Amino acid sequence: MKVYVDADACPVKEIIIEEASKYSLPVVLVKSFAHFSHDKDPVGVESIYVDTGADSVDYRIMLLATSDDLIVTQDYGLASLALGKGCIVLHHKGFQYSMENIDELLNTRHAHAKARRSGAKTKGPKPFTDTDRHKFRSLFSNLLSRTI
């Protein structure tokens, strides 16, 4: 098992690296060149850079991931594809995507996009909080302890 992170805007990268290292689980941070860093990756972590483009990170993660890998993303489209491939998929706000909740999430995203195209204003995501951070750590840690 590997952990793939949609890392461009992921606020829990440090938690993922810290918790995965307890199990010697490799972490792959996939990000666009717009987020390039000369910093050296910690042991067990690999950064992969892709072209800056709408879905470049998503495509690379789907190319690399295999069933039973773990993916962390806030992108519902990527989550849907990864679930279809047999991956475990988590959102950084501390919930797990599933075949039971992905359709509703995608439908809501579609409805909001349709409303915006017609000129309506929709609310953006709520700010990321310490509660979200703790919720993610708990979910991720528990999942690793059950899976590994």
The string of pLDDT tens digits covering residues 42-64 is 999 999 999 988 799 999 999 99
pLDDT at site 14: 97
| Whole-structure pTM value | 0.91
Domain locations in the chain? 3-147
The string of pLDDT tens digits covering residues 6-34 is 999 899 999 999 999 999 999 999 999 98
What is 3-147's CATH number, 2.60.40, 3.40.50, 3.30.499, 1.20.144?
A: 3.40.50
Give the tokens for residue 63.
């190319």
Adjacency order of strands within the sheet including 45-50: 45-50, 27-32, 3-6, 70-72, 88-91, 95-96
Tell me the pLDDT of the chain averaged across its residues: 93
